[in-house]
Structures are given as structure tokens and as C-alpha cells.
């Protein structure tokens, strides 16, 4: 029983990152179907709970290290807003190709 749980732990961790990795990892680890399903669902729901309760903290502390704050209203952004209001998504897409 404990060996099955130890083999299911990587499946749980993998499904926390990407849901499809859980069933694939369970198949590769030759886990029982029910164990694979339980570990996949538990991993997915763990990330849902973490992002629900700690999402703001993750955004403030973690993302701020990797992504610097940018000015929101640059001349280029103002131009895109003006084009969006006149021509919609197609206008913005066309203006991006011509820039």
C-alpha cells in the first residue's frame, strides 16, 4: 500500500503542473486506474485551492521578480486603443503586422 502511494506522488505533482500529465504518468508508473484518477484529481484540486487562497501572494511576490512593471499608457498602447475603437480586432492585428 505505501509503495503504491509513493509511486502515486509523482503523478500528483505532475498533475499539479498540467492536468494531462497525471494520467500519462499513472500509465507509465503502472498504477491502478483508481489510484491514477485519485492522484490526478487530488493534484488538480490542490492547485485550484492554492491559487484560490494564495493567488494574490503568488502574483505579488513571485511574478514581480520575473516581470518588471511596465508603463500602461505608452504611445504605442494608445495607438492600439485608438485602432481598436475604430477597426476592432482585425485593425489591431493588421497594425501589428505593419509595425
What digits encode the pLDDT tens for the residues 8-60? 999 999 999 998 999 999 999 999 999 999 999 999 999 999 999 998 888 88
| pLDDT at residue 61, as a whole number | 84
Q: Which of 5, 65, 64 is nearest to 39 (CA)?
A: 5
What confidence score (pLDDT) does residue 42 get?
A: 95
Query: H helices of the chain, where?
Result: 2-17, 21-28, 33-57, 64-66, 75-98
Write the CA distances from 73 to 30, 77, 92, integer angstroms: 53, 6, 16
Q: Examine the pLDDT at 98 and tell me if it is beyond 60.
A: no
Give the model's pLDDT for residue 15. Answer: 93
pLDDT per residue over 46-97, tens digit each? 999 999 999 888 888 887 787 777 677 888 888 888 888 998 888 878 876 6
Name the more confident of 61 and 99. 61
pLDDT score recorded for residue 99: 53
Write out the three cell numbers for 40.
490526478
Amino acid at each position: 500500500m505505501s509503495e503504491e502511494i509513493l509511486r502515486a506522488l509523482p503523478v500528483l505533482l505532475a498533475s499539479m503542473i498540467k492536468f494531462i500529465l497525471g494520467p500519462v504518468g499513472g500509465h507509465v508508473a503502472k498504477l491502478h486506474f483508481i489510484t491514477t484518477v485519485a492522484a490526478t484529481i487530488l493534484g488538480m484540486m490542490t492547485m485550484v485551492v492554492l491559487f484560490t487562497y494564495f493567488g494574490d501572494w503568488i502574483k505579488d511576490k513571485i511574478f514581480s521578480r520575473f516581470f518588471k512593471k511596465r508603463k500602461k499608457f505608452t504611445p504605442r498602447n494608445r495607438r492600439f486603443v485608438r485602432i481598436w475603437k475604430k477597426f476592432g480586432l482585425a485593425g489591431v492585428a493588421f497594425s501589428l503586422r505593419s509595425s
